Chains A and B, each alone.
Chain A
């Protein structure tokens, strides 16, 4: 082998638990998967472990996450694996703290204080070497792109950039960088952090890899998660995903057009889930739990029945196939009524008026006076809910603080409109 082998991860968020999964299942804890990451690095005898930031969650960085981080890094270094890390917005203080407290030659925290740093590591047979350059968050937010300060001397071997940043428009508070700016840097591969969805992107031959969260943390992080095995050779850099995550969030669409009776719903759901679970369990042996988000699709008149049944199954049902368990964490009704809205909209009676509104809401025609008025009133009505004392705690939490936005309102109106229409239509017929 004439390449440097790297096991890379980021956005581990030690100290946090994945949401909407059974809390009693310790197998799903982030710590457990982090341990698995360390084991994998040691077992595969990689040359380096690269951590792209947010390894600990700032909410719990003080001890619980910190302890796990410290232990993991100690194990890695003591096991002969060099550790290259940059601090992300979550662990901007935890990493420097660790660097101060442990005295390990094999641990390289790059770019402390927001200044680019480099370290050169060689492979096991000392023939090949790679340079790692990195930049760490000096505080929780950074509005400027850190790339502006990057100045690199020329080198013979490959250079790997390690950075926690928000790739995109170049605006934001988490070290926003543009893709082209990344591509312009004299770096052969970027190992990035911050975005939890894994993304292997090549820009002009340059690898721009977001390893994604090691273990998905909420339903917004579907798909296969894990660490990445990267081989850095002078001529080529390859990346391979190692699905270490024990949890998977999955959106699962279920067409209910053919369902005729309420009783069939549960069977249909359960059967579909079991089939899918069997498939997943077969393909991803590390997987221990799948949290499904069901989307009911198709045309049906069983809206209410489906809603009721799915509501009962959510978070209570727990099928198991070959040791892999599953839950339904939520469901969405995306079914359509089995009648023609256009036709209905011809009338000026309530179903007609409603159908007219639904057509507009469905088209997203928010400039229509009536739709605007409706949205305004819905906004007011939901504001009342939002402001009610019952939901006060939600207003203190940044994640639930915002009232529903216009799009959300539109979608809600549309969904409720369909339900209402369904009922009105039924009454009329």
Chain B
């Protein structure tokens, strides 16, 4: 569809203003006048400069009722359907002229549509809802309403993004384990194969062990042999005779020599003893034959008898002397004068008679003495003063003292008590005498008792009198006393009276004692006078007795008795003396006889004579000694002779033994040193012999043992120790390994047994297969879902736009045109919303995800599509009001692009702006370019300062980046175009839609044509193709199919390239994970962009943390990020395909195209060469 076609058809229903003149509007005079071109009229002016007025005026001239009531005056001229129209508006009145003739109002869109032609661009972005209304409207119009996508979703036709890779790991793990087990078994199998070798080695080792044992024994043998040889050599050092030597020869010889010497000495000693004994015998007083038996004993008995007899003689003599002494003493005690002979003849009276007489005399003299004592005591005694006078005088004195004047009475009382107690004491003393004494003392005692009683009684009586008579009558008593004629007290004072009374009392007592004595003597006197008769009788008796005894008659009675006794004693002593003398004589005789006998006996032995027993004793002892000596000498002689004989024998024996000793050792006699030397060697010789025997035995045993050894060899028996040791070391080295081999063999066998029985591999294999099948089932499910998803998508694509009204298709067409086919308008049925699919980046966008420029483009496309489809009458001019928007380069460019497209359709556009730079952009973009007419209508003078200088810094970027001048397709090669067109590099991480067409189109002419029309990428081209088919493209169908085939090859190649490589990481992906915090998101997103989204490289940079944008990034977060990448396919643990594999992949994909001849392998090579 193109404007030019319509124009040539002459059916142009487009209304275009040529000129507008506003004199008055909105109650204001303006004087505005503008000449308009057919295309874009950029009306520039600051606020209130009249832009809106102009726009309103245009609307007012077309649709009445919009002019207000302030009497507007507007005049305009426009072209419609080939005619020139003029309209004047004055107040309510409109007048039309068609080709200068009055005419009625032309066929214009209804006035209600008027506002649709005035679009406030900023409002398009702000007022939400309109587009939704449109979308809803479109949906309402669409038939059916079958939601394939929703149904597919319901069926789960989407390969789920599986977060957990547990089963994958499990399968991998099981496979690994199975491989491990297999490789273990292979290792075991290798070991098993080595069993033969090991067994041989073990046998060798075993043999070596036996050999080692034998060699050990061989060493023992060698040692034993060496010992034996040494012992033998040592033994050979001794003389042969050593076998005869007993070792004790030295001692034996010594002992024999000693014996010999001892025997000789003994002989000599015995001879001396013989000589001595013989001499003793010769000189002895004992006869040669010796003493008769019992001789000495008999003599000794006689001596004993003699001693007894001598002792008896001495006893008799002493007895005699004692009797003589007794008789002399008894004699001496007798009165001298008497002849002993006579005295001896006196016949003495009876002794009892004399004794009785002596007793009578004694009694008489006792009685006489007692009477003489009494006479001395009591005779001739009489008191000076009568006792009664004394008693009265004392009484008067006491009574005086008792009369008044009691002073000192206590003292006298005390004195009185002394008197009383004294009396009593006297009486007690007398009593004592009376009781203990005899004779006179009893008498005295009796007197004293009496006296005491008297004293005490007199005092008691006096005291009673004194108390009975009261005082005051002293004078009376004084006179009474005086009257008694007693010596007075000197003065009559108390003291004097008392002294006098005491004296008087003493006087009284004496008087009383004298009285008592007088009375006693009177009683005894007659008895004393009767004693004289008795004295006479006794005298007579005495005289008779004296006479009888021949004694002096005057001898006293007492002596008589004594003399009688003495005389009788002397008579007895005298008799005893005679007896003693006789006994002495008898004893002396007997002793003499005995002594004589002894003297006689002893004379035989040249002993005596003996005088007494002592001498006899001495002689007998001498004899006895001689006999003993004699006997001893005889005994000694015998002994000595015996001894001598023995000693001679011993001597001979010793000499003989010594001789034999020498002979046995083959030595000359006297070769004592040699003999001793031999003997001293005996012990070491014996040792040497022992040693050799032992060594022989050991050697023999060792050899036997060696023979028993399994590893025994002949040579070992004679081997030296060194040789055997050397061999042993070698053998041991080998033998040591036996256990090792045994263990290794056992271990292998054990392992084999285990491996055969355990079934681990079978189980692992089974488990692996089970899990693998599970995973494969899951994959099958995913395959099915993927296939379902493809099917659903396919159906959806085939039917997507079915039933959608023409307005939608028009909007899509417009939007694609406006965006140089970059975007494709789609309809989200579910949400009733428009979306834009980016053909270059192959991504869909919601409206609000688009840049504001693209949004405006989309909205404009939709609005205009609606406008057009509902447009009635003619195509009225469009007013785009951008006066309120700020200058935004991208947006401006997008709008210019959109407006251009609209104008290219033939519609007149009035673009109102207040931005000077916007004017510049319009100029920059439209000047000198093919396209719609355009003019800039400044409503005021443009201030040059507001305009930016064009070019250079790229501030005013042309909307289309096509080179300002494209080369001539005829003279340029495809290769040259790369530089000329500044073809950007393409990487497989980029969408194929973004691929520059240079890569796909080798022919310069159509390529340049497309570039010229703004279609630079495959995405755009494809969009164009989808909208308009091949007709919309500068290609023949076949040529375009070739381009298509190439683009498919690139897709396939890109796909192959992606195997083993994750999807590119973009900001969106990073924002979806928690692993990148807001602090890092910008930096990381930037890096990701720099790396073309290579997840692995990104992770590397993040982990290194060298880049300042990721400094401090936690490594745990990096791990999280890696997990996220893995789970979501940004990172793939798989090796990328090799170039060859990629090539195969592409070839496989393009089988049909190749078969159809659309593309050749060479062509593909060229294509990939360019990439």
* Contact between chains at A417 and B791 (CB < 8 Å): yes
Instruction: List B contacts of A416 (CB < 8 A).
Output: 155, 157, 784-785, 787-788, 791
* Contact between chains at A412 and B151 (CB < 8 Å): no
Instruction: List A contacts of B143 (CB < 8 A).
Output: 349
* Any B CB within 8 A of the CB of A409: yes
Instruction: List A contacts of B144 (CB < 8 A).
Output: 349-350
Cα-based distance from A130 to B1152 in the complex (angstroms): 59
* Any A CB within 8 A of the CB of B769: yes
* Contact between chains at A63 and B755 (CB < 8 Å): yes
Chain A, residues 363-398, CB within 8 Å of chain B (1/0): the string is 000000010111011101111111111111111110
Dominant SS among interface residues on chain B: helix
Cα-based distance from A63 to B1133 in the complex (angstroms): 34
* Any B CB within 8 A of the CB of A67: yes
Instruction: List B contacts of A384 (CB < 8 A).
Output: 159, 786
* Any A CB within 8 A of the CB of B462: no
12 A-B contact pairs sorted by A residue (CB < 8 Å): A17-B766, A23-B763, A62-B755, A63-B189, A63-B756, A330-B777, A349-B802, A380-B790, A389-B1133, A392-B1133, A400-B779, A416-B155
* Any B CB within 8 A of the CB of A427: yes
Instruction: List A contacts of B1134 (CB < 8 A).
Output: 387, 389, 392, 395
* Contact between chains at B146 and A427 (CB < 8 Å): yes
* Contact between chains at A380 and B1055 (CB < 8 Å): yes
Cα-based distance from A403 to B9 in the complex (angstroms): 59
* Contact between chains at A404 and B783 (CB < 8 Å): yes
* Any B CB within 8 A of the CB of A338: no
Spot the interface stretch: A178-186, A234-242, A291-299, A351-359.
A351-359
Instruction: List A contacts of B762 (CB < 8 A).
Output: 15-17, 29, 60, 64-65
Min distance, Cβ B207 to any Cβ of chain A, angstroms: 26
Min distance, Cβ B323 to any Cβ of chain A, angstroms: 156
* Any A CB within 8 A of the CB of B782: yes
Which partner residue on chain A sits nearest B794 by CB separation? A374
Instruction: List B contacts of A382 (CB < 8 A).
Output: 783, 786-787
Q: Which of A385, A387, A404, A424 contacts B151 (CB 8 A)?
A: A424
Min distance, Cβ A213 to any Cβ of chain B, angstroms: 16
Spot the interface stretch: B165-173, B349-357, B507-515, B1023-1031.
B165-173
Which partner residue on chain B sits nearest A19 by CB separation? B769
Interface size on A, residues (CB 8 A): 65
Q: Which of A223-256 contact B (CB under 8 A)?
A: none
Chain A, residues 89-110, CB within 8 Å of chain B (1/0): the string is 0000000000000000000000
Instruction: List B contacts of A395 (CB < 8 A).
Output: 1134
* Contact between chains at A393 and B787 (CB < 8 Å): no
* Contact between chains at A357 and B795 (CB < 8 Å): yes
* Contact between chains at A389 and B791 (CB < 8 Å): no
Min distance, Cβ B144 to any Cβ of chain A, angstroms: 5
* Contact between chains at B790 and A377 (CB < 8 Å): yes
Instruction: List A contacts of B755 (CB < 8 A).
Output: 62-64, 67
* Any A CB within 8 A of the CB of B796: yes
Q: Which of B168, B775, B794 contacts A377 (CB 8 A)?
A: B794
* Contact between chains at A60 and B791 (CB < 8 Å): no
Min distance, Cβ A168 to any Cβ of chain B, angstroms: 27
* Contact between chains at A393 and B168 (CB < 8 Å): yes
Min distance, Cβ A71 to any Cβ of chain B, angstroms: 9
- 7 A-B pairs closest in CB distance: A67-B756, A416-B788, A63-B755, A17-B766, A381-B786, A62-B185, A393-B171
Cα-based distance from A404 to B786 in the complex (angstroms): 12
Min distance, Cβ A379 to any Cβ of chain B, angstroms: 8
Q: 6 other contacts beyond A350-B799, A399-B772, A420-B152, with CB at 8 A cut-off?
A: A60-B762, A63-B761, A350-B795, A357-B795, A381-B787, A420-B792
* Contact between chains at A394 and B786 (CB < 8 Å): no
* Contact between chains at B146 and A385 (CB < 8 Å): no
* Contact between chains at B782 and A350 (CB < 8 Å): no
* Any A CB within 8 A of the CB of B338: no
* Contact between chains at A427 and B147 (CB < 8 Å): yes
Dominant SS among interface residues on chain A: helix
Chain B, residues 147-161, CB within 8 Å of chain A (1/0): the string is 110011011010100
Instruction: List A contacts of B19 (CB < 8 A).
Output: none
Which partner residue on chain B sits nearest A416 by CB separation? B788
Min distance, Cβ A66 to any Cβ of chain B, angstroms: 7
Instruction: List A contacts of B782 (CB < 8 A).
Output: 385, 391
Which partner residue on chain A sits nearest B146 by CB separation? A350
Which partner residue on chain B sits nearest A23 by CB separation? B766
Q: Which of B770, B794, B1060 contacts A23 (CB 8 A)?
A: B770
Min distance, Cβ A18 to any Cβ of chain B, angstroms: 8
* Any A CB within 8 A of the CB of B1132: yes
From A29, A382, A416, name the one whose CB has the most chain B CB atoms within 10 angstroms: A416
Q: Which of A372, A388, A392, A423 contacts B155 (CB 8 A)?
A: A423
Residues of A with Cβ closer than 8 Å to B?
Answer: 15-17, 19-20, 23, 29, 31, 59-60, 62-68, 330, 348-351, 353-354, 357, 370, 372-374, 376-378, 380-397, 399-400, 404, 409, 412-413, 415-417, 419-420, 423-424, 427-428
Cα-based distance from A319 to B207 in the complex (angstroms): 66
* Contact between chains at B794 and A424 (CB < 8 Å): no
* Contact between chains at A60 and B769 (CB < 8 Å): no
Instruction: List A contacts of B759 (CB < 8 A).
Output: 31, 64
Cα-based distance from A416 to B770 in the complex (angstroms): 26
Instruction: List A contacts of B182 (CB < 8 A).
Output: 59, 62
Instruction: List B contacts of A427 (CB < 8 A).
Output: 146-147, 151
* Contact between chains at B767 and A424 (CB < 8 Å): no
Instruction: List A contacts of B186 (CB < 8 A).
Output: 62
Min distance, Cβ B773 to any Cβ of chain A, angstroms: 7
Instruction: List B contacts of A397 (CB < 8 A).
Output: 175, 772
* Contact between chains at A420 and B791 (CB < 8 Å): yes
Given A62-B755, A354-B791, A424-B148, answer yes or no on A415-B784 (Cβ-Cβ < 8 Å).
yes
* Contact between chains at A390 and B175 (CB < 8 Å): no
Instruction: List A contacts of B1126 (CB < 8 A).
Output: 389
Given A64-B755, A385-B786, answer yes or no on A423-B151 (Cβ-Cβ < 8 Å).
yes
* Contact between chains at A390 and B162 (CB < 8 Å): yes
* Any A CB within 8 A of the CB of B188: yes
Min distance, Cβ B771 to any Cβ of chain A, angstroms: 9
* Contact between chains at A381 and B776 (CB < 8 Å): no
Given A357-B795, A393-B175, answer yes or no on A412-B784 (Cβ-Cβ < 8 Å).
yes
Q: Which of B1142-1168 contact A (CB under 8 A)?
A: 1149, 1152
Cα-based distance from A153 to B1020 in the complex (angstroms): 79
Cα-based distance from A66 to B782 in the complex (angstroms): 40
Given A348-B802, A387-B1059, A393-B175, answer yes or no on A357-B779 (Cβ-Cβ < 8 Å).
no
Given A64-B758, A387-B1134, A394-B779, answer yes or no on A349-B799 (Cβ-Cβ < 8 Å).
yes
Cα-based distance from A131 to B185 in the complex (angstroms): 38
Min distance, Cβ B72 to any Cβ of chain A, angstroms: 55
Cα-based distance from A237 to B1134 in the complex (angstroms): 56
* Any A CB within 8 A of the CB of B240: no
* Contact between chains at A413 and B791 (CB < 8 Å): yes
Instruction: List B contacts of A15 (CB < 8 A).
Output: 761-762, 765
Which partner residue on chain A sits nearest B792 by CB separation? A420
Q: Which of B189, B757, B1129 contacts A388 (CB 8 A)?
A: B1129
* Contact between chains at A60 and B157 (CB < 8 Å): no
* Any A CB within 8 A of the CB of B14: no
* Contact between chains at B802 and A412 (CB < 8 Å): no
Cα-based distance from A16 to B765 in the complex (angstroms): 7
* Contact between chains at B799 and A428 (CB < 8 Å): no
Instruction: List A contacts of B794 (CB < 8 A).
Output: 357, 370, 373-374, 377
* Contact between chains at A20 and B773 (CB < 8 Å): yes
* Contact between chains at A19 and B773 (CB < 8 Å): yes
* Any A CB within 8 A of the CB of B935: no
* Any A CB within 8 A of the CB of B789: yes
Cα-based distance from A59 to B764 in the complex (angstroms): 11
Cα-based distance from A16 to B766 in the complex (angstroms): 7
Instruction: List B contacts of A19 (CB < 8 A).
Output: 766, 769-770, 773
Which partner residue on chain A sits nearest B788 by CB separation? A416
* Contact between chains at A378 and B795 (CB < 8 Å): no
Min distance, Cβ B1127 to any Cβ of chain A, angstroms: 9
* Contact between chains at B786 and A349 (CB < 8 Å): no
